[in-house]
């Protein structure tokens, strides 16, 4: 008899109070699982980001011959090839070939020519590294508009982008076209007689230089 009443009790419809208490409990469980899931997801997503996107990149050497071309260059930019080793979190090391543009400058003149770079307090550069090293400046080969590769046009004496017509002078200052800023400088240093550069990819279409990665 007792078990019969218990069975009947289970079949009784729930009161409004019981329904809302149950709904609250289900909601709380879903919310807590969501928070736990999010907590787990963040480290997992973090693990998927390539190592190259950490706070800094790796230095890649320029060949001696090419650096020699830059040293003897006067008012013509030099295209400098280099190899870069990248390491994705889950893939084997990969070596990539790329190039940058290098110019030889008078540092004071260059600073005056590029107010878009030296616009911080006291003429501080908007990038966290020295832009002029040993009187040389390296530029990323990617147009700051939408990332196409521009070229030096010696007849026009300008860098020209074939995609939407942005133009830059020898110092990389923006002259014409839709690009939001001048060419982006890259870090360079000298180690035991070898010039090295670091690749940085900047956000396109923005007037500010925002680092988006240290791999190409």
Nearer to ligand FES, 99 or 129 (CB): 99
Nearer to ligand FES, 50 or 178 (CB): 178
Q: How far apart are CA 134 and CA 92, in angstroms?
A: 35
Q: How far apart are CA 32 and CA 151, in angstroms?
A: 55
> Applying CB under 6 A, which part among 22-30, 64-72, 115-123, 172-180 lies near ligand FES?
172-180
> Applying CB under 6 A, which part among 59-67, 108-116, 139-147, 195-203 lies near ligand FES?
139-147
Backbone angles phi, psi at 167, to 5 degrees: -130, 145
Q: According to the binding rule CB under 6 A, does residue 164 interact with ligand FES?
A: yes
Nearer to ligand FES, 140 or 166 (CB): 166
Among 62, 117, 161, 195, contact with ligand FES (rule: CB under 6 A): 161
Among 148, 151, 152, 203, contact with ligand FES (rule: CB under 6 A): 148
The C-alpha angle 178, 180, 186, rounded to 5 degrees, equals 120
Considering the complex, what minimum distance in angstroms separates the CB of residue 210 from ligand FES? 17
Q: How far apart are CA 180 and CA 177, in angstroms?
A: 9
Q: According to the binding rule CB under 6 A, does residue 109 interact with ligand FES?
A: no
Structural contact between residues 84 and 199, judged by C-beta atoms closer than 8 angstroms: yes
Structural contact between residues 211 and 140, judged by C-beta atoms closer than 8 angstroms: no
Nearer to ligand FES, 130 or 169 (CB): 169
| Secondary structure (DSSP) of 147-173 | -PBPEEETTTTEEE-TTT--EE-TT--
State the residue for tokens 């997801």: 41
Task: Count the residues of the shown chain that bind ligand FES, applying the rule CB under 6 A.
Answer: 12
Q: Which of 197, 214, 182, 82 is nearest to 136 (CA)?
A: 197
Q: According to the binding rule CB under 6 A, does residue 177 interact with ligand FES?
A: yes
Q: According to the binding rule CB under 6 A, does residue 181 interact with ligand FES?
A: no
Give the footprint of ligand FES on this chain (CB under 6 A).
143, 145-146, 148, 161, 163-166, 177-179
């Amino acid at each position: 008899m007792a078990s019969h009443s218990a069975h009947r009790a289970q079949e009784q419809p729930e009161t409004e109070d019981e329904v809302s208490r149950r709904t609250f409990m289900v909601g709380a469980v879903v919310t807590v699982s969501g928070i736990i899931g999010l907590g787990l997801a963040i480290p997992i997503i973090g693990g998927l980001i390539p190592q190259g996107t950490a706070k800094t990149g790796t230095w890649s050497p320029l060949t001696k011959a090419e650096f020699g071309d830059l040293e003897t260059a006067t008012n013509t930019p030099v295209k400098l090839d280099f190899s870069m080793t990248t390491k994705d979190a889950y893939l084997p090391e990969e070596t990539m070939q790329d190039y940058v543009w290098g110019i030889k400058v008078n540092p004071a003149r260059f600073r005056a020519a590029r107010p878009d770079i030296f616009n911080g307090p006291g003429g501080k550069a908007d990038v966290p590294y020295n832009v002029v090293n040993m009187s040389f400046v390296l530029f990323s080969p990617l147009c700051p508009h939408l990332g196409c590769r521009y070229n030096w046009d010696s007849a026009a004496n300008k860098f020209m982008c074939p995609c939407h017509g942005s133009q830059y002078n020898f110092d990389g200052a923006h002259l014409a076209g839709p690009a939001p800023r001048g060419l982006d400088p890259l870090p360079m240093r000298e180690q035991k007689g070898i010039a090295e550069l670091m690749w940085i990819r900047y956000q396109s279409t923005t007037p500010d230089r925002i680092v988006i990665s240290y791999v190409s």
